[in-house]
Amino acid sequence: MNFLIVGLGNIGEEYLETRHNVGFKIVDALAGQNKASFALDRLAHYASYKTRGKNVHIIKPTTYMNLSGKAIRFWMQELKIPAPQMLVILDDLALPFGILRMKAKGSDGGHNGLKDIDATLGNNNYPRMRFGIGNAFQKGTQVNYVLGKWSVEEMKELHTKIDLACEATNSFMFEGLERAMNKYNT
């Protein structure tokens, strides 16, 4: 069985350690745990590995967050992967730091990456995992917060929270979405 794991983020040094790029950080960790390395390919950095009878394909779109749908559609078609076997991993302001929320489908919740994916695919029927980045910002400073670096306190726990997100991703692939949701939606 084939899976497509998508980490959302923005390319470029200035975005590297920002909250908005947690999707990239999670798939980087997943690839690292499985000794897979990324190479620049069509519309994305791409890595793949085999584990326990599964072919796992990982992408980090190079289209910037707000145009993620184009890369996802290309790789879904290229690899012939149906939506239920894809997991999109992204940041979420509405969740406290490090809290995970997996769903089979849903609204974009104001997330521009999901808005573009929904528009490009023509629906919102695909699994996603939201990683909470909290909302500790003053009114009018949301963009600076999302595109800002992790706080010192967050950095102390980030590695552990990312490992948990990798566990949840593995659970999605090996146990199915329902079980993963029951285990990791806190």
45 is a catalytic site residue: no
Give one DSSP letter per residue of 27-87, joined into a string.
HHHHHHHTT---EEETTEEEEEEEETTEEEEEEEESS-GGGHHHHHHHHHHHHT--GGGEE
What average pLDDT does the structure give for the chain? 96
Number of domains in the chain: 1
How high is the pLDDT of residue 97? 97
> What would the pLDDT profile of 156-184 be if each residue is shown by its tens digit?
999 999 999 999 999 999 999 999 999 99
> The pTM is what?
0.96
pLDDT of 186 above 80? no
How high is the pLDDT of residue 39? 98
> What would the pLDDT profile of 106-127 be if each residue is shown by its tens digit?
999 999 999 999 999 999 999 9
Say if CB 18 and CB 154 are below 8 A apart. no
> What would the pLDDT profile of 53-96 be if each residue is shown by its tens digit?
999 999 999 998 999 999 999 999 999 999 999 999 999 999 99
Average pLDDT in the 25-50 region?
98
The parent domain of residue 31 ranges over 2-184
**CA-based nearest residue to 100, from 35, 17, 6, 183:** 183
State the CATH number of the domain containing residue 126. 3.40.50.1470
Catalytic residue among 20, 45, 57, 111: 20
